[in-house]
């Protein structure tokens, strides 16, 4: 009986840790403005030194993107199982933003647009 209780406690602790990590990922995403550090398209990398390019993922499912003078608003969803941010855009062929790194200070995602692959590194 003691072994059963120990195993049950162990399973519950893993479940609660896993659940809290999922909550934290969504909390990190929606924690405010993410400043773009760099964008890599194929082999070409563009660095961003000024804080005039950024993204915000709002908890209500809306997002804002500013890249220099270009601004865009839209809707987004987070696919927790695949760790993908899906932007709802009619004209885009981007398959989704696959999260490679996400914590309280860093966000790195990759995506494909047709046969072109790119990645974006952001910071708080």
Q: In the chain, where are the structural domains located?
A: 2-123
Residue for token digits 């030194």? 49
Nearest to 87 by CA among 95, 76, 98: 76
pLDDT at residue 112, as a whole number: 87
Tokens of 29: 């995403």
Tokens of 107: 């966000």
pLDDT at residue 100, as a whole number: 96
Q: For 2-123, CATH number?
A: 2.40.128.640
For the chain, 124 residues long, give each residue's pLDDT as a single digit of tens. Answer: 434 333 333 343 333 334 344 447 889 899 999 999 999 998 999 999 888 999 999 999 999 999 988 999 999 999 988 999 998 875 665 668 999 999 989 999 999 888 889 999 999 9
Whether the CB-CB separation of 124 and 32 falls below 8 Å is answered with yes
């Amino acid at each position: 009986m003691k072994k059963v209780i120990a195993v049950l406690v162990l399973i519950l602790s893993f479940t609660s840790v896993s659940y809290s990590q999922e909550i934290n990922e969504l909390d990190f995403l929606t924690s405010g403005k993410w400043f773009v550090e760099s964008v890599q398209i194929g082999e070409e990398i563009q660095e961003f030194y000024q804080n005039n390019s950024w993204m915000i993922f709002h908890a209500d499912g809306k997002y804002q993107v500013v890249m220099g003078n270009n601004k865009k608003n839209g809707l987004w969803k987070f696919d927790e199982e695949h760790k993908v941010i899906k932007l709802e855009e009619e004209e885009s062929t981007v398959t989704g933003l696959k999260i490679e790194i996400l914590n309280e200070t860093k966000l790195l995602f990759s995506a494909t647009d047709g046969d072109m692959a790119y990645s974006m590194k952001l910071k708080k």
